[in-house]
Amino acid sequence: MKILFVIVLLLTSVAIVDVSAQSTEATREIPAAKQTSLGLYVTAKEAYEKWKAAPGQVKVLDVRTPEECLFVGHPEMAWNIPFLFMTHQWDEEKNWYALKPNRKFVARVKEWAKPKDTILVMCRSGDRAAKAVDELAKAGFTNVYNIVHGMEGDSVKDPENLYDGKRMKNGWKNSGLPWTYKIDRERAWVAEDEKPEADK
């Protein structure tokens, strides 16, 4: 009996060490740009499973621009509250269109969710989502996860691969999870004070 007890104790110790090692390894694999002050991360598949298990309690927040949601697509259950907006000015340093902060980001999230809610945050590939998570953490939200590979995933880095430089690995779309181009007015960002004028 004592031998059996010792074997069970040893196996339990090994399992605990193994889980601890996996958690440390998972954190180590997340690039600095995708890390958050809350330290909560999920892959796209994990995010979908988390939402599917409790759709009433788990919220999916897409912080990409409305243009990205419209033309790239978005998870069917996600709400779009942009963290940044695209401008039509050129950023010489980054060599692409300049982005500007959404000053109403935190206020809009507070209208939609409570500080203790479980929120899974997505952007294109995880960097912007990390910044959005940190802003929400500063505002008192405590259970906010970064979907680390975002909607489009990471770029393939292999000159021999047809998809070199394209976002074709991991991420929501590449994982075969449900997404759509259709915009749901209730879940979409609409700037109420910037409605287009009626045709004259």
pTM of the shown model: 0.81
Please report the pLDDT score of residue 191 as a whole number: 80
What does the alpha-carbon distance between residue 148 and residue 123 come to, in Å, rounded to a whole number? 9
Q: What's residue 103's pLDDT?
A: 97
127-165-173-118 Cα dihedral, nearest 10 degrees:
-10
The sheet with strand 79-80 has its strands ordered as: 41-42, 144-147, 118-122, 58-62, 79-80
pLDDT over 90, % of the chain: 72
- What mean pLDDT value characterizes the chain? 86
Structure tokens at 29: 């694999």
How far, in Å, CA of 150 to CA of 42, rounded? 10
- The neighbouring-strand residues paired with 60 are 120
Residue 134 token pair: 């940190």
- With a cut of 50, which residues of the chain have pLDDT below it? 4-27, 195-200
Residue with tokens 């000015």: 89
What's the confidence (pLDDT) of residue 28? 56
Domain residue spans of the chain: 1-30, 33-189
> Is 3.40.250.10 the CATH number for 33-189?
yes
Q: Which two tokens stand for residue 26?
A: 């998972």
